[in-house]
Chain A
Amino acid sequence: MINRILTGGALVLLAGVLAGCGPGNKPVDQGTPNKVLNITVGTEPEDIDPHVVTGVPEHHIIVALTEGLVAEDPVDLHPVPGTAETWEVSEDGTVYTFHLRGNAKWTNGDPVTADDFVQSFKRILTPALASKYSYMLFVMKGAEDYSLGKLKDFSQVGARAIDERTLEITLNSPTPYFLSLLNHYTWFPVHIATVEKHGGMVKRGSGWTKPENFVSNGAFKLKSWKLGRKIVVEKNPDYWDAATTKLDEIHFYPIELETTQENAFRGGQLHNIYNLHIDKIATYKKEHPDELRIKPHLASYFYRFNTTRKPCDDVRVRKALAMSLDRGSITKNVTKGEQMPALFFTPPGVAGYTARARIEENVEKARQLLAEAGYPDGKGFPSLELLYNTTEGHRIIAEAIQQMWKKNLNINITLQNQEWKVYLDRQREMDYQISRAGWTGDYPDPNTFLDMWTSWSQQNQTGWARDDYDGLIRKAAATQDVEARLELFQQAEEILMDELPVLPIYIYTRVYALNPAVKNWHANVLDHHPWKHLDLEVKADE
C-alpha cells in the first residue's frame, strides 16, 4: 500500500514538473520580426570605457554605442564619414583637419565638439590613467612623450580644437592607415562632463559606464547591463544617421563555451554562434551550409623561438624546424577550419600587401641544416620544450608538430601546457624555448604585424633584434609613397623569414554560424560588422 502511494506520488511529481513547462517563446523567433538581434560575442566585457578596455568583445559593444571621427563601410571597412562630415589632409600627409557635423549629439543632448575629442585624447594619454592601449595614439605628434610624462603640456601634443567643430590632428609622419586607425576605440570620444562627474578623468571603473550614467554618441544607446546575463542596447533616435539604423535593439549575451553557444543557437535563443566548435564544422558543412561561415581573419598563428637559449639561438636550427613542417596537413587534418598554411608572417592581401618571402617546406634541406648545426640525424640534440596555454586546440596542433619533427628530423621535444597567466608570464620573462602565440591585427596594414618584431616592441619577446630590420620599419613609417612603403615592408619580412625568430604556422579563419535572417552582414578580415547597417528579415515563405 505504502509503496503504491509513494510510487504514485513520485509519478505525479514528475508529471507536474513536466506539465508546468511548455515550450517557451524563443528569443530568435520573437526577435526577428521585432528587429531585436540576439547575439553573443563571447565573454562578459570588462568595461565599456574605450580608454580602459583592450578586448574584442568590448570592441563589438563599444562600436555600437560610440562613434569616432570616421566610421567603417559595412562591406570593405574603408573609412567613411562618421562624427566628422569631411576632412582634409595636408600635402605632406601629416596634418588632418576634420569638420564635425552640426547634428552630432551625445545621448544627453549635448553637441559633440572638437574639444570633446581633444579632451578624450588627453584622457587616454594621461599617465595616471595607465591605459594599456594608449600606444594606438602614438602616431600623433607628442602623444608618446605625453603618455610617458616627458611632456607635461598637452597643448604641445598634435590635437587642437580650432573651433567648436573643427579639429586638427598633427602626426609624426605620414601614416597611410591613419583613417583606419581612427576606427579603433582608443580614438573614440567620451562625454567629458559625465566622466568628470563620476570620479574624474583618470579614475578607471568610476561607474560612469553604468547604464544609469552612461552617455554616448553612437547609433545605439545603452539600455541595461545585467552582469553575466546580457547587455541591451537600443536604437538611438537622436543619432545623426538614425535613418540608417535598422535594428531596434541588440542583446549581447556573454556565453563563453562554444558548445553552449551552439546549443543556444540551435535552441532558437541566439542569432549567431561566435565560435563554432571544431568537431561541428563537418556537420554544419553538410547539414547547415546556409548558416556556416568560414572567413579569412587578420590574424596569425605562430610559435615564438627564444633566440637567447640553446638550441634555438642557432638560426640553422630555427630554419630546420620551420622547413620540416607540413603546414597543409595541419590545417587540413588538425584545425580543419580552412585556415591558410602560413609560409610568411603577415596575412596576405592586407592593404595591398602580400609578402614575397616564403619559407621553403623541404625536409631534405632541413635535415642538412640540422646536421650543419651539429646534430646530424638529430643526434645530440638538446632537450627542447614547447610551451602553450592549456587549450585543447593548441594541444592537438602541438602534438602534430611534435610528431612531424620526430619523423622528419628525428628529434624529441616535450610539450608543456600552462594556465593562461603563467604562460604569459613565462613568455614575458623569456622563460621558454618555443612558445605558442597568436597575433590579431589592430588595423588593416602590414605595419601592425611587422613593427612587433622591432627591438623596442613590447610584443617581440623572442630576444631577436636586428638593426637593419628596425631601420626598415622606421623608414616605412616616414614614407608617404604607398609603393615605396610596401617595398620596405617586403624587405623587412624577407629578413624576418630568413632569420625566423618566429615560426609561422597558419593564417586564422573565423569559423562561426549566423542565422540567415541577419542581413547586411559582410565578411571582412577584421570581423567588424557595423551594427547600424545590420537588419533582420523574415523569410518570405514563413
Chain B
Amino acid sequence: MLKFILRRILETIPVLLCVAAMTFFMCRLAPGGPFDEDKQVTAEVRELLNKQFNLDQPLHKQFIQYITHLPTLQSFKYPNRTVGEIISQKFPVSAKLGFFAMCIALGLGVLFGVIASLRPNTYIDYIPSSLAMIGICLPTFVMGPLLMLVFSLQLGWFPATGWGGFSGDQFFASDMVLPSVTLGFFYAAYISRLTRGGMLDILTQDYIRTAKAKGASGLRVILKHSLRGGLLPVISFMGPAVAGLIAGSFVIETIFAIPGLGQDFVKSAFNRDYTLVLGVVMFYATLIILLNLIVDILQVTLNPKLKFD
C-alpha cells in the first residue's frame, strides 16, 4: 500500500507541472491585462506597472519565478495580500461550507437512497426518488434565493447572508445553515440515486438472502451486510464531489455573500490576476489529486475484489 501511495504521489508531479504551465500560458494569451480599467492609464504608467510586477521579463523567466515563489507572490488585484495569505484566509471558509454540505448530502442522500431501495416501485420509493429528481433539476442559483426568501425573509429563522455571525468568526452560526443546505441538497439528490441503485444491486444478491435466512435482523442486514457494498458507487462519486463541493461553490458564495475561495477561483480569472489564478488553480489541482488518492484507497479497503496494484 505504501508503494502504491508513493507511486501515485510521484505521478502527480508532472500532472501539476502541466496544469501550471497551461494555466499560466492560457492566462497570458487572453486579451486584456491586470491594469486595464475603466479609466485607462497612460502608456508610461503601464510600462512602469509592468516593470514593478515583473511583467517586462521574458515569459519563461516569469513562469519559473511564479512556480518557485507562488505562495509569496503579490496579488495583482489586492496588492497588500499575497497569494498564500488569500488562500489561507479564504479556503477554510469554503472547506467548512463544503464539509457541512457534505454531511447533509451524505446524511439525507444515503438515508433516502436506502429507504427507496427497500420497497422499490412503491410510494416509499417514489417519494424520496422524486425529491431527489427535484434536487437534481433545481440549480443552486434557484434553490438558494428560494430558501432565502422563505426562511430568512418570510420566517426570519436564518440570516440572509454572511458567514460566521456578526463578528464573522464564530465557529458555528445560524447564517451557515441555508448555504450548507442549498449546496448539500443538490449533492444529496445524486447520492440518494446512487445509493438506491447500489443497494438494489446488493439486496438481490445470494449472500443477503443467506443473511436473512440465518435470522439476522433487518437493520443488521442493511447496516452490516448491504451498505458496505451498496455504497461503493457513492464512494467513487465522493472524490470529485468533495472537490466540487469545496471548489465549485462560486454560485453559493456569491448568492450568500460568503468570503470563500470559490469566488476567487472565478473572479481572479476575470481580473487577470495572474498570480492568484495560478495559486488557486494549483491549490485545487493538488486537492483534487489528493482526494482521488484517498477515494482509491477507500475503495480497495471496502471492496475485497480490488487490490493495490
A253 within 8 A of B: yes
A419 at the B interface (CB under 8 A): yes
Given contacts A3-B124, A18-B157, A21-B177, contact A47 B78 (CB under 8 A): yes
Residues of B within 8 A of A243 (CB): none
A264 with B160: CB separation less than 8 A: yes
A10 near B35: Cβ-Cβ < 8 Å: no
Set B79, B93, B153, B219: member contacting A47, Cβ < 8 A = B79
**In the complex, what residues of A have CB within 8 A of residue B79's CB?**
46-47, 49, 52, 204-205
Whether B270 contacts A421 by the Cβ 8 Å rule is: yes
CB < 8 Å: which of B74, B112, B158, B260 contacts A205? Answer: B74
One of A103-111, A206-214, A407-415, A515-523 contacting the partner? A206-214
Interface string of A1-37 (1 = CB under 8 A from B): 1110111011001000110011111110010000000
1/0 per residue, CB under 8 A from B, across A52-73: the answer is: 1010000000000000000000
Q: How far is the CB of A508 from chain B (nearest CB, A)?
A: 13
Question: What's the least CB distance linking A440 to chain B, in Å?
Answer: 8
Task: Assess whether B37 is in contact with A227, with CB atoms less than 8 Å apart.
Answer: no
- Give the CA-CA distance A266 to B41 in the complex, in Å: 39
Question: Which B residues between 244 and 290 are near A, CB-CB below 8 angstroms?
Answer: 254-257, 259-260, 263, 270-272
Residue A260 CB within 8 A of the other chain: yes
- Is B168's beta carbon under 8 Å from chain A? yes
Counting chain A CB atoms within 10 Å of each CB, the highest count among B85, B163, B166, B222 belongs to: B166
In angstroms, Cα B270 to Cα A229, docked, is 21
Contact with B along A248-267 (1 / 0, CB 8 A): 00000111110110011011
Encode contact with B along A395-419: 1 for CB under 8 Å, 0 otherwise: 0000000000000000000000001
Q: How far is the CA of A91 from the CA of B83 in the complex (A)?
A: 53
**Interfacial residues of chain B within 35-83, with CB under 8 A of chain A in the complex:** 35-45, 48-49, 51-52, 74-75, 77-81
B41 touches A269 (CB 8 A): no
Residues from 196 to 235 in A contacting B, C-beta threshold 8 Å: 204-210, 226-230
Once the chains bind, are A425 and B259 in contact (CB under 8 Å)? no
Is there a chain B Cβ closer than 8 Å to A428's Cβ?
Answer: yes
Q: Which of B31, B45, B145, B218 is A132 in contact with, Cβ under 8 Å? A: B45
B151 to chain A, nearest CB (A): 9
Asked if residues B159 and A2 are in contact (CB atoms below 8 Å), the reply is no
Q: Which residues of A contact B260 (CB under 8 A)?
A: 228
Contact A263 B152 (CB under 8 A): yes
Most buried by B among A5, A209, A228: A228
* In the complex, B229 has a CB within 8 A of chain A: no
Contact A228 B36 (CB under 8 A): no
Q: What are 23 inter-chain pairs, A to B, with CB distance below 8 A?
A: A2-B219, A3-B115, A3-B124, A18-B157, A22-B157, A25-B166, A49-B79, A54-B37, A128-B48, A130-B45, A205-B75, A227-B89, A228-B93, A228-B263, A229-B164, A229-B168, A257-B254, A257-B255, A263-B153, A263-B161, A267-B153, A269-B159, A425-B32
List the interface of chain B (C-beta within 8 A of A): 30-33, 35-45, 48-49, 51-52, 74-75, 77-81, 85-86, 89-90, 93, 107-108, 111-112, 114-115, 118-119, 124, 145, 148-149, 152-153, 156-166, 168-169, 173-175, 177, 218-219, 222, 254-257, 259-260, 263, 270-272
